[in-house]
Amino acid sequence: HVQLVESGGDSAQTGGSLRLSCTFSGDTYSRYCMAWFRQAPGKEREGVAAHFTTGVDTYYTDSVKGRFAISRDNAKTTVYLQMITLKPEDSAVYYCAAKRGLCGTWWWKAFEYNHWGQGTQVTVS
């Protein structure tokens, strides 16, 4: 079965940068849309970015455009989220998620994904 393991969460200062990683196992990685979500205390889980193998099926939520970049290494079956110019409002638990096929226009809907990692904490102050 599919397993996702995130790493890279940490504390950072405003304006700083972090890179999150998520390693995929248990199925053919290239068949999956990979996404990052985040959830702050008292808030709903929010889609941050999503990316499919082709590279053209890539999405970002407006608040992170120009600051975050999603990428994937198919050889390592790993998806990354490079975050720069961090803001306190980026603080949250970040989750990696996967679903088979294209990400599509509903990429930001958490219910679209049936595989989730355990989450990694990002704190910006």
CA dist 5 and 22 (Å) reads 5
pLDDT in tens, 75-120: 999 999 999 999 999 999 999 999 999 999 999 999 999 999 999 9
Give which of 83, 72, 88 is closest to 35, Cα–Cα: 72
In terms of Cα–Cα distance, which of 82, 98, 81, 94 is closest to 25? 98
The closest alpha carbon to 8, from 125, 120, 117, 87, belongs to: 120
The string of pLDDT tens digits covering residues 7-66 is 999 999 999 999 999 999 999 999 999 999 999 999 999 999 999 976 678 999 999 999
